[in-house]
Structure 1
Amino acid sequence: MACINVIAKRQIGEHPVVSIPNGKVRGTTQVTVGQKKVYHAFRGIPYAEPPIGERRFKAPVKKSRWVGTLNATEDKCECLQLRHPPGESEDCLYINVYTPRLHDGKIPVMVWIHAGGFSFGNSSYALYGPDYLLEETIVFVSFNYRLGFFGFFSTGDSACPGNFGLKDQIMALKWVQENIIHFGGDPEKVTVAGGSAGAASFSYLQQTELAKGLFRSGIMESGTSLCVWALGKHPEAAMYEVEQALNISTSNSTILIDEMRKIDYRVLQKIESDIATRFTFGGLKGSFVFGPVKEPGVVNQYSEQALSEGRFQRMPMIIGVNSNEGLIETNETVDQFLSKLGHLLPLAPKSLTKNITKLLEADTEIKNYYFGTSPIAEQPESVSKFIGDNIVNRPVRRTVLNQSKFVPVYYYKFSYVGLLGSPQNRSIPGEGVGHGEEIPYLFRTNDTVASSEADILTRARMVKMWTNFVKFGIPTPTKDDLLQNITWLTAPAGSDLFYLDIDTDLSIQRNPFEDAMNFWDRIYEEFGDPPYDTY
């Protein structure tokens, strides 16, 4: 170990240079926070031309060659977003590569798509430091993609079809195929992973021919294309709002978009903020107004039907949820949020049926099941259960049921409540693991948060299973004392679903949230009118 540390100290501060088809890139050499293993980081490599001016509201354009050596030594600007982080920019399409060895060409690759409700977020080291993953000898890749208004605004026609954020993701994955071998990675062993909106993004990519052959397996944490928030809301209404705000009166969408390409981005951001204020659901962070929209060849008309019929790239999958997905952050106090939710009707998903009578009947049953006769605002724990089942648990389970008919699916529930998940930041009280709180058990995110031995053990187990999957397509390929010698069973094709419960101990269980999921099965059987775009 002493010799290794001496070598590591010699390499720290070195700036390795790698030649790729676009030119030379200079990175940095660092050591992981845990085992002090050497790795090389290349942060901020452009994978597309800046989507500015005439390239705004268009599919990404492949980056041209540059002269000299590009400095890829720090994170670049975040994409424009509702939260307006310092230094945000339209020039934001950059990719990061972290590798334990250069020039190997055979190391399996994990590509991470960041979360953020399609409205905020970034791929920075501060949020997704891959130290623990790199210690298991994989290459890690992350990237920015266009968000919110600039990534997903749509006129519903060829003038501005939308889904530019998804098209950025496809461009980034093509970049990986063409370039990762120069960083020691194997382009034939690429696993795409993501959380929340990142997971929903991968679900869409799995269903489009545009991404065919760009990955061999996938990991979806707390998200899928079937989630109600994963499909953009009110695109026609948003277009009307933009026309009114800009005082542009035209029935020609091409003229509208041409004018919007000339306008200062800050004017468009103000319009986005105003629209989000009016359409935001119950104070949830992120507007959920601008997201993926239906587009032939990119986003299916009916995603649930496509998955049920096997019209997706078939490959091994890890898919799962946290134990209480309804524990979320909001922009409001708990009382404000609960009061607003109490006035939101119907509670039934709008994709269930277009028959208003049936929708209201379903709504009555849903309200009785979750809240009984007491006021909703007085039941925060019931609210978190309803939100979790409605926005994550139900659509994820449906995705598992559909995909497991065709491919091996490793289903999980993350139940371990520790310090790393920062549960003190929740806006809604309750027990369990909230939305996104599994992320710190994969990444180096916040060194100021204390951790226990159980936290460290849980992180080591999760990292081991995820990287096993990246390497072998199986999360538990052999008996392993760290993993309590468990074998993670695939979810069978049927209603009885095996899943791995990740808690203080690992255990194989059946049918998470069984009573609630049986209730929703009955709701869909009795009131539903398929096909469904979300579920």
Structure 2
Amino acid sequence: MNQSRRARLALATVIPFLAGANAALYDTVIETQYGGLQGYPAFTSEPAGNLTHWKDITVWKNIPFAATTGGQNRWKAPQPVSAWNGTRDAKSYGNVCPSATSGGSEYTIDEDCLNLNIWSPANSTDAKLPVVMWSYPAESTAADALFDGGGMADQGIVYVNYNYRTGSFGWMSHPELSEEFYEVTGSNSSGNWGMLDQFSALKWIHENIAAFGGDPEHITAMGQSAGSAATQHIVNSPLTKGLIVGGIIESGVRDPHDPLCTSLAENYKTLDYSLAQGERFMASLNCTSIAEMREVAMEDLIVSGGTFGSDSEWDFTATLDYYAIPDTYMNTLLKGLAQDVPLITGNTKDESGATYGLDISVAEYLADMNETFSGPWLSRFLELYPGNTSQTASGAYNSQWTDRSKVGTWLWSQLWATAKTSPVYTYIWDHAPPGQNQGAYHESEINYVLNNLYGTDLPWTTEDYVIARKMNGYWANFIKTGNPNGKRLTEWPAATSNSTVQHVGDGWGQIPAAPDAKVKLFEEWFDSLVAY
């Protein structure tokens, strides 16, 4: 790390933001290259929890970062946004992008949906605060209270979230679209429209965030589940090179040999698969050309599919196009194609196959294990994960899934280290939020890392606020310096050849990813499989 970069990081840590230097930014109109923006106080009264600078936080909502994706812009890369006259009122959330589950009166659903929201604690447009870009999980929107940025902004960080296309709108390929795309980019591919939205939002942030008190040279990409896939693609893609200083990938990466890579959030399909699906999808709508497809009503293009466990005939997801995605995950790791930046990545205890409160019979356990671990592998896994009663079978079933996540993420960190020098910090989250019966479920850490318990209605306890302060402290430190460690926090070492992981939630500190025999078994099993 060069001396000037070190100095900038140190400054960001020592002087989180220029409190009191000037009035809060909601007291002025922010001038951008597109026009003026009027922001608002993020809080009108003190929120419950740990926030200490809440009076300084400004929020701007519904800022367009690209033009509408409807009409002739449907299934095209994001197009430039037009300037507006006068001052744009940024008080309310904008439209959300169409998807299978984003209905209801709470949101306005429209293809004119590429907008973002900014929370900034800066008291000056010259503050140059560290910036984090949040990408949401599947079937969500930037307007969801779970992704409110006030808690992160309280740490002296400019927080941005945004909307992007999903479903058929975000991931449909077709030969005609590939021809169009080739004329613009020289890449004979199509399908990653949602990913290009994500890249476009990052580029907008880089070009404009200084006006909101952010440092365009200090942006961390962050997301969970499908949003963690977005972050992984931002880290990997040549189209975002030099735009970020770090990445936080929650419930995302795993050993590329793991078959779960083909079905969980980070999955992608070959271009041939995606093109064939696009042709089938067009035929299902009785259309014969992309021109006709661009005339189809938005509602008729909303289909389910592309999420874990879906039984839909449609599987709209990312495409391995060798343009936005440079190569397979394995090749990207081994060839060092990704940006060499520090990373945080990890999992929750009760996700990716593990189910809190599971109650299965021994027969069901054996059937499921036999389906996953065929041939000689079955006996080896049953020896280390025995289940002779319903209780032990349920426990063994969950244990092997959770161990698979922890070991797979640690193995990913070792592959990363073959060509990169930046550290990877891995974790396992095991705290179950109150008022629910799913344990430490998928997404359960989000409220805590963003420290926004005030925005959701679970029956939070004093313990939850303490945990949120610690989790948010780790994440905020990383966003500021590329290292999660700081005073009063339990030491979190970067991943090494020792197969350990940071325990966060109901305990703090390093623990084994799994006993040595189980680590060795998973490593050998993964090595026997085809890499993704």
Please point out which of 205, 211, 224 is paired with 1:182: 211
Structure 1 residue 450 and structure 2 residue 472: aligned?
no
Q: Following the alignment from structure 1 to structure 2, what is the Cα–Cα distance between the partners of residues 465 and 263?
A: 47
Q: 2:433 aligns with which of 419, 422, 433?
A: 419
Q: 1:126 to 1:521 in 2, by over 3 A?
A: same
User: In terms of mean alpha carbon deviation, does 169-178 or 74-83 score higher?
Assistant: 74-83
Equivalent residue letter for 1:453 = T
* Aligned position for 2:300: 267
Question: What do residues 358-409 of structure 1 show as CA deviations (whole Å, max 9, x unaligned)?
Answer: xx5377568746886879999554444455456x445433321222342333
Contact 2:66 2:79 in 1 (8 A): yes
Corresponding residue of 1:489: 493
Q: State the Cα distance separating 1:96 from its structure 2 match.
A: 0.7
Would the aligned equivalents of 1:442 and 1:462 in 2 still touch at CA under 8 Å? yes
Q: Cα deviations across residues 444-471 of structure 1 (Å, max 9, x unaligned)?
A: 2544212222211111011111111111
Superposed CA RMSD in Å reads 3.5
Is it true that 1:104 corresponds to 2:132 in the alignment?
no
User: 1:16 touches 1:28 (CA, 8 Å); kept in 2?
Assistant: no
Q: For residue 90 of structure 2, what is the amino acid of its counterpart?
A: A
Does residue 22 in structure 1 map to residue 43 in structure 2?
A: no
Partner letter of residue 298 of structure 2?
Y
Residue identity over aligned pairs, in percent, reads: 24
- In the superposition, relative to structure 1, how do residues 127 and 245 fare at CA in structure 2: closer, same or farther (>3 Å)? same
User: Are positions 1:63 and 2:63 aligned together?
Assistant: no
Inter-CA distance 414–174: structure 2 relative to 1 (3 Å threshold): same
Rounded to whole Å, the distance in 2 between the matches of 1:363 and 1:28 is 59
1:439 deviation in Å? 0.8
Q: In 2 relative to 1, CA 59–383 (structure 1 residues): closer, same or farther, beyond 3 Å?
A: farther
Q: Is the 8 A contact 2:409 2:426 kept in 1?
A: no
Query: Could you give the per-residue CA deviations for residues 254-311 of structure 1, whole angstroms, max 9, x where no partner exists?
Result: x632221111111122xx23xx3xx865458x99821111102211342112112322
Distance 1:150 1:195, change over 3 A: same
Decide which moves more: 369-378 or 74-83.
369-378
Query: What is the correspondence of 1:114-513 to structure 2 with a 5 Å cutoff?
Result: 114-116=136-138, 120-124=139-143, 126-155=145-174, 158-159=178-179, 161-224=190-253, 226=256, 227-228=261-262, 229=264, 230-233=266-269, 235-236=274-275, 238-248=277-287, 256-269=289-302, 272-273=303-304, 276=305, 282-283=309-310, 289-326=315-352, 346-347=371-372, 360-361=374-375, 364=378, 368=382, 379-388=393-402, 392-393=405-406, 395-405=408-418, 406-419=420-433, 423-424=436-437, 426=438, 433-443=440-450, 444=452, 446-477=455-486, 480-481=487-488, 483=489, 486-492=490-496, 494=497, 496-512=498-514
Secondary structure class of the residue paired with 1:110:
strand
Q: 1:448 to 1:25 in 2, by over 3 A?
A: same
Cα distance in 2 for partners of 1:474, 1:189 equals 14
Aligned residues of 1:319 and 1:409 also touching (Cα < 8 A): no
Alpha-carbon spacing, 1:149–1:368, altered in 2? closer, same or farther (3 Å): farther
Distance in structure 1 (CA, Å) of the matches to 2:525 and 2:403: 13
- Counterpart secondary structure, 1:18: strand
Q: Give yes or no for contact 2:340–2:421 (8 Å, CA) kept in 1.
A: yes
CA distance in 2, matches of 1:290, 1:513: 38
- Show the counterpart of 1:528: 529
TM-score (norm 1): 0.79
SS in 2 for 1:111: strand
Q: How many residues align?
A: 477
The residue type equivalent to 2:146 in the other structure is L
Cα 1:307–1:378, aligned 2, differ >3 Å: closer, same or farther? same
Cα distance in 2 for residues equivalent to 1:409 and 1:182 = 31
Normalised by the length of structure 2, the TM-score is 0.80
Provide the residue aligned with 2:109 in structure 1: 88
Measured in 1, the distance between the counterparts of 2:65 and 2:366 equals: 42
Contact 1:75 1:125 survives alignment (8 Å): no
Moved more, 136-145 or 396-405: 396-405
Evaluate the alpha carbon distance shift between residue 342 and residue 153 of structure 1 in structure 2; reply closer, same or farther with a 3 A threshold: farther
State the distance in 2 between where 1:123 and 1:73 align.
14
Deviation at 1:17, TM superposition (A): 1.7
Which amino acid letter does the alignment assign opposite residue 21 of structure 1?
Q
Deviation at 1:500, TM superposition (A): 1.9
Q: Does the 8 A contact of 1:341 with 1:376 survive in 2? A: no
Letter in 2 for 1:440: N
Quick one: structure 1 residues 104 and 115, their matched pair in 2 at CA, closer, same or farther if it must change by over 3 Å?
same
Amino acid at match of 1:189: H
Separation in 2, partners of 1:172, 1:377: 48
The answer to whether the 8 Å contact 2:429/2:505 transfers is yes
CA distance in 1, matches of 2:315, 2:492: 38
SS in 2 for 1:66: coil
Once the two structures are TM-superposed, the CA of residue 83 in structure 1 deviates from its matched residue by 0.7
Unmatched segments (≥5 aa) in structure 1? 1-6, 249-254, 349-359, 427-431
CA separation in 1, counterparts of 2:228 and 2:517?
25
Query: SS at the partner of 1:476?
Result: coil
d(CA) in 2 for partners of 1:89, 1:323: 36
Shift of 1:178: 0.7
Shift of 1:345: 8.3
Distance, in Å, in 2 between the alignment partners of 1:144 and 1:317 is 23
Query: Matched residue of 1:162: which SS?
Result: coil
Secondary structure of 2:178's aligned partner: coil
Q: Distance in 2 between matches of 1:373 and 1:98?
A: 49
Give the counterpart of 1:113 among 97, 118, 135. 135
**How has the CA–CA distance of structure 1 residues 62 and 378 changed in structure 2, closer, same or farther, with 3 Å as cutoff?**
farther
Q: Structure 1 residue 503: deviation in Å? A: 3.6
